[in-house]
């Protein structure tokens, strides 16, 4: 449930005039701005913007940007935008950072409905004149694969030795692994020549192949692996089925696929990315529940590993956002407040994007898990007009 308190009847013309008055003169009346915008929903805020422009031939957003500053200005700017346009801005800011905030891209992709995500992609194109997908691919490629490549080298060598031991009795194997490039995640070449013990001699060259085929029942040395940018592009491009129906057989089968990939540490296996980016949220919840019931632990627990592995972080965030978004948002709020120095970007993002949706439920979960009301924690960690706006959106006046 939403937390903002919206009057049953409002006059957008009166609101536009009140905002004009708040911005005129030597000083800005921040309290008046909060009293108007903090109690209006997305439709009303859009009507106010249009009314303001008609009355004063001026863009309200630009006027507020020139009048306000700091965290308060950023929060007001995020709040006054249409939800889809806001998400487009959040995504662009996250992408363009020196170290891109992959979790923000995942959050937007996995907690919005299919129609909402489609609207975000359209808003992104309209605002930035190119697609969200191409920007994600261009600015995340290679950023989170480094730690994984070290593990790939180890895994290739281990699997090569297993294959050699299994095939030694009836095959001669020559593996060229020295030229293995992590970015390609496949050996430059592999030649397998079987003996003539009832088997036709064969020579297989996989120089152009992205993965190594099965040999006499052995699994691939390196299964098809996809990179972090491919995961993120797949998520932002998704248009999932949004209904309630699930397929139990598929849930059982894909829980096994996920477990095998996780057990073998093939975290960016194509099947993981395919499942997470195409299945409906209800179907994925059934799959995650099957995984937990079969193995006595959640998939996210099994994905815990190197804290510096950005791909694993993105994968865990994806699953948490898809499986239980309210729990995910509660954790983001908790971390933003508990850290040394408040993470205002994360705090603002969650409160502004969830205030009209499910922030009341998130508040209750926060109180239950932390034994402190969220508005009390926010009031303690913030100050001034920024604090007043956040508390207003939380449904509690300062």
Residue 129 token pair:
């004149």
Give the whole-angstrom CA distance, residue 234 versus residue 273. Answer: 8
Choose among 72, 2, 76, 6: nearest CA to 41.
Answer: 6
Choose among 342, 335, 353: nearest CA to 75.
Answer: 353
pLDDT tens across 37-74, in order?
Answer: 999 999 999 999 999 999 999 999 999 999 999 999 99
Question: 299: domain range?
Answer: 243-323
Q: Are residues 19 and 137 in the same domain?
A: no
Q: Are residues 256 and 233 in the same domain?
A: no
Q: Are residues 235 and 261 in the same domain?
A: no
> Which CATH number does the domain housing residue 111 bear?
1.10.220.10
Query: Is 291 a domain residue?
Result: yes
Q: Are residues 247 and 381 in the same domain?
A: no
* Residue 29 DSSP symbol: -
Which neighbouring-strand residues pair with 194? 171
86 Cβ contact list (under 8 Å, min separation 6) = 78, 352, 353
State the pLDDT at residue 368. Answer: 97
| pTM as predicted | 0.80
Query: Is 76 a domain residue?
Result: no
Q: Are residues 277 and 287 in the same domain?
A: yes
Ramachandran region of residue 93, left (φ > 0), alpha (ψ -120 to 50) or beta? alpha
pLDDT tens across 326-345, in order?
Answer: 999 999 999 999 877 889 99
Give the whole-angstrom CA distance, residue 41 versus residue 52. Answer: 16
Query: Is 5 a domain residue?
Result: no
- Inter-residue contact 108 to 133 (CB < 8 Å): no
Q: Distance of CA 380 to CAs 251, 344, 372, 377, Å? A: 44, 13, 11, 5
- Inter-residue contact 4 to 38 (CB < 8 Å): yes
Give the whole-angstrom CA distance, residue 285 versus residue 296. Answer: 16
Give the whole-angstrom CA distance, residue 45 versus residue 37. Answer: 7
Q: Are residues 316 and 359 in the same domain?
A: no
Write down the residue that tokens 């007009």 correspond to. Answer: 385
Query: Is 175 a domain residue?
Result: no
Q: Are residues 390 and 338 in the same domain?
A: yes
- Mean pLDDT over 384-391 rounds to 98
Q: Average pLDDT, whole number, for the chain?
A: 83
Q: Are residues 234 and 94 in the same domain?
A: yes
Which neighbouring-strand residues pair with 215? 218
């Amino acid at each position: 449930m939403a937390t903002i308190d919206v009057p049953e009847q409002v006059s957008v013309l009166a609101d536009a005039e009140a905002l004009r008055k708040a911005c005129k003169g030597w000083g800005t009346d921040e309290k008046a701005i909060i009293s108007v915008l903090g109690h209006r929903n997305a439709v009303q805020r859009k009507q106010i913007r249009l009314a303001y422009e008609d009355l004063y031939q001026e863009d309200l957003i630009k006027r507020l940007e020139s009048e306000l500053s700091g965290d308060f200005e950023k929060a007001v700017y995020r709040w006054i935008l249409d939800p889809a346009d806001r998400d487009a801005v959040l995504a662009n800011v996250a992408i363009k950072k020196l170290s891109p905030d992959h979790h923000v891209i995942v959050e937007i992709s996995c907690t919005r409905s299919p129609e909402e995500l489609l609207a975000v992609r359209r808003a992104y194109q309209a605002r930035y004149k190119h697609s969200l997908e191409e920007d994600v691919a261009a600015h995340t490629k290679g950023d989170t694969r480094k730690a994984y490549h070290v593990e790939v080298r180890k895994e290739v060598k281990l699997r090569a030795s297993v294959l050699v031991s299994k095939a030694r009795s009836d095959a001669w194997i020559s593996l060229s692994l020295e030229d293995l490039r992590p970015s390609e995640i496949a050996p430059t070449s592999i030649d397998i020549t079987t003996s003539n013990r009832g088997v036709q001699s064969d020579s297989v060259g996989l120089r152009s192949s992205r993965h190594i085929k099965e040999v006499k029942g052995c699994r691939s040395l390196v299964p098809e692996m996809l990179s972090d940018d491919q995961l993120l592009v797949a998520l932002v491009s998704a248009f999932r089925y949004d209904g309630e129906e699930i397929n139990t057989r598929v849930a059982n089968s894909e829980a096994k696929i996920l477990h095998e990939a996780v057990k073998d540490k093939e975290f960016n296996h194509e099947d993981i990315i395919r499942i997470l980016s195409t299945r409906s949220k209800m179907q994925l919840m059934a799959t995650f529940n099957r995984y937990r019931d079969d193995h006595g632990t959640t998939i996210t627990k099994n994905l815990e590993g190197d804290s510096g592995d950005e791909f694993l972080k993105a994968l865990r965030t994806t699953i948490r956002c898809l499986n239980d978004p309210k729990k995910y948002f509660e954790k983001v709020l908790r971390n933003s407040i508990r850290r040394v120095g408040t993470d205002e970007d994360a705090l603002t993002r969650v409160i502004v994007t969830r205030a009209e949706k499910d922030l009341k439920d998130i508040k209750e979960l926060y109180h239950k898990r932390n034994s402190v009301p969220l508005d009390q924690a926010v009031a303690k960690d913030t100050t001034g007009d920024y604090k007043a706006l956040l508390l207003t959106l939380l449904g509690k006046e300062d």
